[in-house]
């Protein structure tokens, strides 16, 4: 009978959450909201490259922003501040 229940769909066994309960618990525990997530350093570099920076000389995270200093293809110095939450280039 247990084999039929397992083949036919999810079954709650004593002491084990059902598959649906496991999914909802995963959402409640240990997951961060989008507001808590930040872009990675490699993503910040990619954003800087797309803005014309071809050589990153310095990169650091300061609170809710990535600060990058580097050079353009014309060897001009460029400094960018990137929002660490959504990747926007800040003024």
Span 34-48, pLDDT tens digits: 667 999 999 999 999
- The answer to whether residue 14 scores a pLDDT higher than 70 is no
- The answer to whether residue 16 scores a pLDDT higher than 80 is no
Rounded CA gap, 67 and 9, in Å?
51
Question: What is the per-residue pLDDT for 82?
Answer: 98
More confident call, 74 vs 4: 74
Cα distances (angstroms) measured from residue 1 to each of 4, 8, 33, 56, 83: 5, 10, 41, 63, 56
Measured between its terminal Cα atoms, the distance across the chain in Å is 66
């Amino acid at each position: 009978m247990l084999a039929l229940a397992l083949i036919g769909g999810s079954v709650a066994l004593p002491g084990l959450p059902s598959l649906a309960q496991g999914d909802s618990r995963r959402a409640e525990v240990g997951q961060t909201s989008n507001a808590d997530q930040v872009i990675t350093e490699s993503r910040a570099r990619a954003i800087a490259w797309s803005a014309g920076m071809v050589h990153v000389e310095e990169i650091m995270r300061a609170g809710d922003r990535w600060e990058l200093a580097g050079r353009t293809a014309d060897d001009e110095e460029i400094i960018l501040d990137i929002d660490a939450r959504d990747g926007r280039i800040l003024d």
